[in-house]
Amino acid sequence: MSDAAVGDAFETVAVTWSQPECAVMLSMFEFYGIPAFATGRWHGSAYPPMITGLDGFHVRVHPAVVDDALELLAEVSERPAAVRPYPLGQRWIYPALIGLTLVILVEFWLSDNPGPLMVTVLLALCFLFYAVPPTRTASTFFLWKRPD
């Protein structure tokens, strides 16, 4: 290791699974003049399933400003998390749509024409992948690193 790299190891202050949260954290740190970056950010934006393999986005800051970054994250962690609404607006609409789709699927399954069956299966898959509310994995802030 060269002398230039000694003491230049950035420290992880947060891990997030959300690209928007990662961007907001980096923007907040940039606003306060804290040098920061996120590992795997560009990989995750190009191929989102890779975020799982990368164990989320690790937001890292320069060692000289770790305390400042952790104080900012401590302020953020005291605020209530935003509630993500269901894409269709109401919680009961999703099960109703899936139930209706299954009834129509059974109806067409018993018919002699398979064309409508394929349309129904396609509609069921569209509802399944659109109407499920997004998962919400909270970001992990490494607040235990703060000085007492």
Distance of CA 34 to the CA centre of its chain: 23
Residue 35 pLDDT > 50, yes or no?
Answer: yes
Bridge partners (DSSP) of residue 11 are 61
Distances (CA, A) of 23 to 42, 77, 103, 112: 11, 16, 43, 53
Indicate the pTM of the whole model. Answer: 0.59
Residue 27 pLDDT > 90, yes or no?
Answer: yes
Angle among Cα 22, 33, 145 to the nearest 5 degrees reads 65
Residue 2 pLDDT > 50, yes or no?
Answer: no
Distances (CA, A) of 14 to 46, 53, 62, 90: 21, 17, 13, 33
Query: What's the pLDDT tens digit per position in 41-96?
Result: 888 778 877 777 778 889 999 989 999 999 998 888 877 665 555 555 666 776 77
